[in-house]
């Protein structure tokens, strides 16, 4: 049976259906980079917070790479990224460390505040993690004073 052009167009539209990001599938295949998974999910209209939360839930061992990649793609959403990652089960200390390294120590006070907001019971450990990593960033030891003086 030969299809008419109109039937072919209607069939292709019907088969396409709604498209949604399948982060769990993308992460488990291992064929895509973390950045590519982010970009696919963003193209589907997902919020950065939802993407981070779903990626961390799908691949908790990659939470540091997920946080660092998210901060590169959406640096103005630091609070949401850190909060979503910790809320999805990522270790707050790993999140702080990866965020500070990804940002080269810039906005250390904001990183610490966002992490403490998401994990208030870990405040001392979060500050200690920041103090240990900041000297190795471009912000250097001077960032420690600013970061630790910040009220959270």
Backbone angles phi, psi at 82, to 5 degrees: -65, -45
Q: How many residues does the chain have?
A: 152
Model confidence at 138: pLDDT above 80? yes
Q: Tens of pLDDT along 22-41?
A: 888 878 777 788 888 988 89
Q: Tens of pLDDT along 139-148?
A: 887 777 766 6
Q: Tens of pLDDT along 68-96?
A: 999 998 989 999 999 999 999 999 999 99
* Contact residues for 138 (Cβ-Cβ < 8 A; gap 6+): 104, 105, 106
CB 39 within 8 A of CB 71: no
């Amino acid at each position: 049976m030969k299809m008419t052009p109109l039937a072919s167009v209607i069939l292709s539209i019907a088969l396409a259906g709604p498209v949604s990001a399948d982060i769990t599938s993308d992460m488990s295949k291992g064929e895509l980079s973390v950045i590519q998974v982010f970009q696919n999910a963003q193209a589907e209209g997902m919020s950065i917070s939802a993407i981070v939360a779903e990626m961390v839930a799908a691949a908790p061992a990659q939470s540091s790479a997920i946080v660092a990649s998210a901060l590169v793609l959406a640096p103005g959403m630091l609070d949401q990224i850190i909060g979503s990652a910790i809320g999805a089960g990522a270790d707050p200390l790993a999140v702080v460390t990866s965020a500070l390294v990804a940002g080269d120590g810039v906005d250390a006070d904001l990183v610490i505040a966002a992490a403490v907001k998401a994990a208030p019971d870990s405040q001392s450990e979060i500050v200690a993690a920041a103090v240990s990593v900041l000297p190795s960033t471009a912000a250097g030891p001077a960032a420690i004073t600013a970061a630790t003086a910040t009220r959270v």
